[in-house]
Structure 1
Amino acid sequence: MIAGWFTGDGEGFRLLGTRCSACSTVFFPREDTHCRNPHCPGGRLVEAPLSRRGHVWSYTDSRYRPPSPYVTDRELPWVPYTLIAVELPAERLVVLGQAAPGVTVADLTVGMEVEVVPGVLHEDTETTWTTWQWRPTGVGA
């Protein structure tokens, strides 16, 4: 994925956004040039680790192979995956990401608590592309 969008591992894994010092608006993906809030006079943008837990806002499964720049081995059969839109109430934003391996749409409900975890988007003999994924916490809504 893109450098600077997440950091750490295990319990220390976090998505990294930015927060405007003038209006406190949080951005993800991060914004490093200017505040995107049209009502803000503009302020310094500072790195802001996002909440590790949020609630399922929406979800679906991906039944088709996405076009480039999505990395996939065209020689292998396509395996559908689950996408989850997660609301982070403290930041007042929704972050989209894949579900952790083994999590299907049958395992999810709107409002369910999930947490961000590190995951593998794709790997080959030379490179492993890491990303974030969402996993149910078992706590409920």
Structure 2
Amino acid sequence: MVAGWFAGEGDGFRLLGTRCSACGSVFFPREDVRCRNPGCAGGELPEVALSRRGRVWSYTDSRYRPPSPYVTDPDLPWEPYALIAVELESERIVVLGQAAAGVTVADLTVGMEVELVLGVLHEDAETIWTTWHWRPTGVTQ
């Protein structure tokens, strides 16, 4: 888990970003130093919970094993997964993430509604690395 990027469980699971108090720009990953909007003189950057739903902006297959710091077991065969770029419902920013387990590119269409769910990036005997995943609405895990 990347500290400060997401929090909660179940229906309370949310991505965490920041919003500039001067111009209203929303940032994910979070921005804690200065507003990234070049037209803004800057303001406070309070943490905000981002929308749990959005629409598929784009998607693709990940057919290769990503390099470090992505965590995988090199002794296991690589399992491809779908990557989804989602335009968040309220913030209108695009956030990239993996599809939930069992969701493939064949299940996705541009414009379909998806929701944020807690996912497992990798686990071993000592640690479970959590992350966020996107799942089409109306689909249960």
**TM score, norm. by length of structure 1:** 0.96
Where structure 1 has 5 or more consecutive residues not aligned to the other structure, the ranges are none
2:29 matched to 1:29? yes
Per-residue deviation, 1:135? 0.4
Q: Is the 8 A contact 2:53 2:89 kept in 1?
A: no
Name the counterpart of 1:107.
Answer: 107
- Corresponding position of 1:93: 93
**Mapped contact 2:20–2:46 kept (Cα < 8 A):** yes
- State how many pairs are aligned: 139
Residue pairs, 1:1-141, within 5 angstroms: 1-138=1-138
Helix, strand or coil at the partner of 2:79: coil
User: What is the percentage of aligned positions where both structures have the same residue?
Assistant: 80
Contact kept, 8 Å, 1:113 with 1:138, in 2: the verdict is no
SS at match of 1:11: helix
Residue 89 (structure 1) shift: 3.8
Give the SS at the match of 2:46: strand
SS in 1 for 2:87: strand
CA distance in 2, matches of 1:68, 1:61: 19
Structure 2 residue runs of 5 or longer lacking an equivalent are none
Query: Does the 8 A contact of 1:119 with 1:131 survive in 2?
Result: yes
Q: Is the 8 Å Cα contact of residues 59 and 82 (structure 2) preserved in structure 1?
A: yes
Distance (whole Å) between structure 1 residues aligned to residue 103 and residue 37 of structure 2: 35
Moved over 6 A (4+): none
